[in-house]
């Protein structure tokens, strides 16, 4: 059975992004430290926030550059006027709700895991669903004072247990597994 994974970052005071909406997620350092590749191997489909999708200057960039070359289900609205390029590995579907995106991703994942990627609203929806089996939480040693909080307190308590901790220069990477 596939698991639902959430990969998210936050500041020491709990913010996903600063007041201007700039994410604290340490993606460049994670690539250098080899922390993304093992997740890519496990992932059969991605549920992505629309904000994360829109961060690419050109949506065709995903087709040959994005680590996750799997079906991607984008939450939050209609597809762009010009569909993003697909390459036989990566495909895009646009869903109105987290629930419908997750259901479609579970069907498309081929028995591998479903990865949730995106800003706070995606993390909050995933947590509120009660479906998140594992969390990869990247804590960045910054205090921002204000911004966009990663979690909103609406999630049911699944009793997550620490599986591992990895330290890099820019973050503490905590892997948590839900208590079964």
Domain limits for position 69: 4-113+125-165
Q: Could you give the CA distance from residue 121 to residue 114 in angstroms, rounded to a whole number?
A: 17
**Residue 119 is assigned to a structural domain of this protein:** no
Q: Does the pLDDT value for residue 168 go beyond 80? A: yes
User: Is the CA virtual torsion 160, 137, 114, 52 positive or negative?
Assistant: positive
**Residue 25 is assigned to a structural domain of this protein:** yes
- What is the per-residue pLDDT across 93-149, written as a single tens digit (0 to 9) for each? 999 999 999 999 999 999 999 999 988 899 999 999 999 999 999 999 999 999 889
**Residue 154 is assigned to a structural domain of this protein:** yes
**Residue 172 is assigned to a structural domain of this protein:** no
Total tally of structural domains belonging to the chain: 1
Are 91 and 107 in contact, with CB atoms under 8 Å apart?
Answer: no
Quick one: average pLDDT of 6-32?
89
Which CATH number belongs to the domain containing residue 76 in this structure? Answer: 3.40.430.10
Are 44 and 2 in contact, with CB atoms under 8 Å apart?
Answer: yes
Q: Which tops the pLDDT comparison, 52 or 73? A: 73
Q: Where are the alpha helices (DSSP H) in the chain?
A: 27-32, 37-42, 50-54, 62-65, 98-108, 120-129
């Amino acid at each position: 059975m596939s698991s639902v994974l959430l990969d998210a970052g936050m500041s020491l005071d709990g913010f996903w992004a600063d007041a201007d909406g700039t994410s604290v997620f340490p993606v460049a350092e994670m690539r250098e430290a080899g922390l993304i590749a093992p997740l890519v191997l496990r992932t059969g489909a991605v549920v992505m926030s629309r904000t994360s999708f829109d961060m690419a200057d050109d949506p065709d960039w995903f087709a040959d550059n994005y680590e996750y070359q799997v079906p991607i289900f984008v939450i939050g609205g209609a597809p762009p006027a010009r569909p993003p390029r697909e390459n036989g590995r990566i495909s895009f579907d646009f869903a109105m709700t987290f629930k419908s995106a997750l259901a479609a991703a579970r069907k498309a994942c081929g028995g591998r895991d479903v990865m949730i990627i995106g800003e706070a609203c995606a993390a909050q929806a995933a947590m509120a669903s009660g479906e998140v089996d594992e969390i990869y939480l990247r804590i960045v040693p910054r205090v921002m004072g204000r911004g966009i909080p990663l979690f909103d307190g609406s999630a049911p308590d699944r009793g997550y247990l620490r599986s591992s901790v990895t330290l890099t220069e820019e973050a503490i990477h905590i892997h948590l597994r839900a208590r079964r």
